[in-house]
Amino acid sequence: MVFQDIIKSIAAGDAEQSLALTKRALAQGFSAESVLEKGLIAGMDRVAEKFRNQRVMVPEVLMASRAMHAGLSLVEPCLKGAERKTAGKIVMGTVAGDLHDIGLCLVKMMVMTAGAQIINLGVDVTPKKFASVVRKEKPHILMMSALLTTTMTVMKEVIDELEFLEIRKNLIVIVGGAPVDSGFAKKIGADYYFEDAFEVRTFIEENLSKMVTKKSR
């Protein structure tokens, strides 16, 4: 069945094949929702299982994610106005002094499948830049990443800046990256720490709509 072929193409990190198979599935009359859930996301779930069992590495996960998004580029226009989309908004970026973006890109790709609106600030983002965008965009969630022990302390500076400007309230702050752990997250005043992009996606899928409803009251 075409869904199984899509899953295999994503597991193999073959973006060209994923695109072709997604196009075929839609042409055969399968709904965009079914192609998304039974093909594209199911493919990433298979990769997630292998990743958790340490059977694939981060570069392979990134290739799989890009393959999924090749198919998603065809499915997404068909989902406009669908219930899957939320008004949830997320600002994300890698903190100042850190130029690593593999983890950030992976999280962005994962979170997009949950229907969130993403504002990706990229790498080397200063506390003032984070705060400025939060003040302007009023997101539900702020995600920060750090891959170096020398830059992880900047996360605390960002939170301090948010509190100084009195825009920390009602904002969920999520931190992640190789040197970060739950103890550090708690120490700096972050709300959540997640070990990988799949954990982030699960959290977003389960909680973003609730955050949107709560904030709109």
DSSP 73-137: HHHGGGGTT-TT----EEEEEEBTT----HHHHHHHHHHHTTT-EEEE--SSB-HHHHHHHHHHH
Residues 109, 202 within the same domain: yes
Q: Which of 21, 54, 79 is the last residue of a domain?
A: 79
CA angle 153, 168, 214 (to 5 degrees): 130
pLDDT of residue 212: 79
Residues 111, 54 within the same domain: no
Give me the CATH number covering residue 149. Answer: 3.40.50.280
| Structure tokens that stand for 92 in this block | 């994300």
**pLDDT per position in the chain (217 positions), as tens?**
899 999 999 999 999 999 999 999 999 999 988 998 899 989 988 888 888 788 888 788 889 989 998 998 898 888 654 545 556 899 999 999 998 887 787 788 778 777 788 999 999 999 999 999 999 999 999 999 998 999 999 999 999 999 999 999 999 999 998 899 999 999 999 999 998 888 898 899 899 888 877 766 5
Residues 73, 111 within the same domain: no
| Residue 175 DSSP code | E
Residues 210, 115 within the same domain: yes
Q: Determine contact, residues 160/176, Cβ cutoff 8 Å.
A: no
Domain count, the chain: 2
Query: Residue 54's domain spans which residues?
Result: 2-79
pTM (two decimals): 0.75
pLDDT of residue 83: 47
CA angle 144, 145, 148 (to 5 degrees): 140
Dihedral (Cα; 146, 58, 201, 54), 10-degree rounding: -120
CA 16/CA 164 separation, integer angstroms: 48
Give me the CATH number covering residue 11. Answer: 1.10.1240.10
